[in-house]
């Protein structure tokens, strides 16, 4: 079937979109346990970039699961497919010239490496939101850990499924030791230079 598929070339290039936006595109990938603070930090980083005139869009685990990936379970195979689809969506958004902020547990190193391959290394920033399982359980914002401990949720990362921490993330945030305002500033300060066009 693939031999019948031909990519269509449109007249507007990514370079032209970048010039219109006045910044480069980027995928900022937040990984960490459920309850680590990924979505909260991503939201604040996006708000800071938006105020600077950066064209952004945020992708979040629950929102994606309710829509494009609502046919997937939390089995290891479906987790990998979940991340693959998100990477492909992010690739399209990067082609559109956007800065994408993606907050997903994404527990497997290989899956995260595959994202980097799909969107290209220059377009990818991995942020490890490092929060202990004890603190995530204490917060338990969504009540997931309580259900997992009661056996109501299977394949819960950190409880009944493993989380493989990044070896060399571009940024590591230890939420238990760093005020959230400082974390956000550190991320934004790292991101801004990467968005500048070559002629700036």
In whole angstroms, how far apart are CA 130 and each of 5, 62, 135, 165? 42, 20, 10, 8
CA atoms within 13 A on the CB side of 200: 11
36, 39, 106, 183: the catalytic one is: 106
90 classed as catalytic: no
Among 108, 110, 114, residue whose Cα is nearest residue 86: 114
Report helix, strand or coil for 33: coil
Q: Rounded CA gap, 125 and 10, in Å?
A: 28
Residue 55 in tokens: 């064209």
Cβ–Cβ < 8 Å for 27, 195: no
Cβ–Cβ < 8 Å for 33, 160: no
List the catalytic residues: 106
């Amino acid at each position: 079937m693939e031999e019948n598929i031909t990519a269509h070339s449109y007249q507007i290039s990514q370079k032209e979109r970048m010039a219109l936006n006045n910044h480069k595109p980027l995928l900022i990938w937040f990984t960490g346990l459920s309850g680590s603070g990924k979505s909260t930090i991503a939201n604040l980083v996006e708000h800071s970039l938006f105020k600077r005139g950066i064209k952004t869009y945020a992708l979040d685990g629950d929102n994606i699961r309710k829509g494009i990936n609502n046919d997937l379970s939390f089995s290891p195979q479906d987790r990998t497919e979940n991340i693959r689809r998100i990477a492909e969506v992010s690739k399209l958004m990067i082609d559109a010239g956007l800065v994408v902020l993606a907050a997903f547990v994404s527990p497997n190193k290989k899956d995260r490496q595959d994202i980097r391959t799909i969107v290209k290394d220059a377009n990818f920033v991995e942020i490890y939101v490092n929060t202990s399982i004890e603190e995530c359980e204490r917060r338990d914002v969504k009540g997931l850990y309580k259900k997992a401990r009661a056996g109501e949720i299977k394949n819960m990362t950190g409880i009944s499924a493993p989380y493989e921490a990044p070896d060399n993330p571009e940024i590591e945030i230890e939420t238990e030791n760093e005020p959230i305002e400082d974390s956000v500033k550190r991320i934004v300060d790292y991101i801004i230079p990467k968005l500048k066009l070559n002629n700036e």
